[in-house]
Amino acid sequence: MPIGYVPDGLDGARADAGAARMFGVSRSAVEEAAGRGDLILDGVAVAKSERLRAGTLLEVDLGPVRVVQVVPSLVEGMTIVYDDADIVVVDKPAPVAAHPSLGWDGPSVVEHLAAAGFAISTSGPPERQGVVSRLDVGTSGLMVVAKSEVAYSVLKRAFRKHEVSKTYHALVQGYPIPATGTIDAPIGHARTGEWKMAVDPKGRRSITHYETLKTLRAATLLGVQLETGRTHQIRIHMAAIRHPCVGDVLYGADPVLAARLGLDRQWLHATQLGFRHPTRAEDMVFVSEYPAELVSALEYLS
């Protein structure tokens, strides 16, 4: 059972958020513990909204440890773009996660590859084997998975050193000014929700480059390249300049427009992926077309 003294930096924080940060667990797990009376501050059970005081003893009983399991299952719409002994490149539909997790009970790339008979032999937790970079559940497009340990190591390093070229297309509300620009704003966890991120002065540096590709009715199609790769980066940065991705209700998009377009996800697609092959030193570039639901939304606004 995690237990520790509340540091000065968490003085005044909510008990659920503070415990999640102190012990490296999910906020939802702490909330469940609080609901059972298992969130304890100085020997007294407290509500999840209780404010912490520096120097007090905080403990949380999380109950039985849940284990993520890989359940092989084919995903409709998943396309294998390229495959060899070291890597497999997939064109991921939405809503599909990169890998299974405790917070997600839908389909994933890892489980699709397992069901399709692809042998992934890399280090890391079983549910994340081969995953060197992820796409959001609601973002479609290209993603590379390592099949061998050498490919896993080389590609992880390439992503970390920003040697991989990733181009996204994003349909955003309104008309960004300037039409071509760079957003340099740090990103961290939002205080309002466990899975939500936000621009945060104390967050990690995050840089997004964009250019206008086409102007539509009440929206703009952008080409986007990432200099960094933070969770939800494009979505957060577009929302920060008040031009959220169409359909991205979580980050402030117009729900009426999303419904009119039939979108239950953000209009965001990984259109191009380029990298040097991990064992052959050959430059490779892959391109993906828009899925039907994104094409339909574009046609409606054209």
Secondary element (H or E) of residue 166? strand 165-173
Q: How far apart are CA 201 and CA 37, in angstroms?
A: 34
User: Is 15 in contact with 49 (CB distance < 8 Å)?
Assistant: yes
Quick one: 289 exposed, middle or buried, by C-beta within 10 A (0-12, 13-18, 19+)? Answer: exposed
Long-range contacts formed by 129-135: CB under 8 A, 24+ apart: 131/98, 131/99, 132/156, 132/159, 133/159, 133/164, 133/229, 134/98, 134/99, 135/92, 135/98, 135/270
Active site residue 136: yes
The residues, any chain, with a CB within 8 Å of residue 117's CB and separated by 6 or more, are none
Concatenating the DSSP letter of every residue in 239-282 gives HHTT-PBTT-GGGT--HHHHHHHT-SS-SEEEEEEEEE-TTT--
The residues, any chain, with a CB within 8 Å of residue 160's CB and separated by 6 or more, are none
Marked catalytic residue, from 8, 136, 184, 200: 136
User: Is 110 in contact with 135 (CB distance < 8 Å)?
Assistant: no
Structure tokens given for 147: 């099949």
The residues annotated with a catalytic role in the active site are: 136
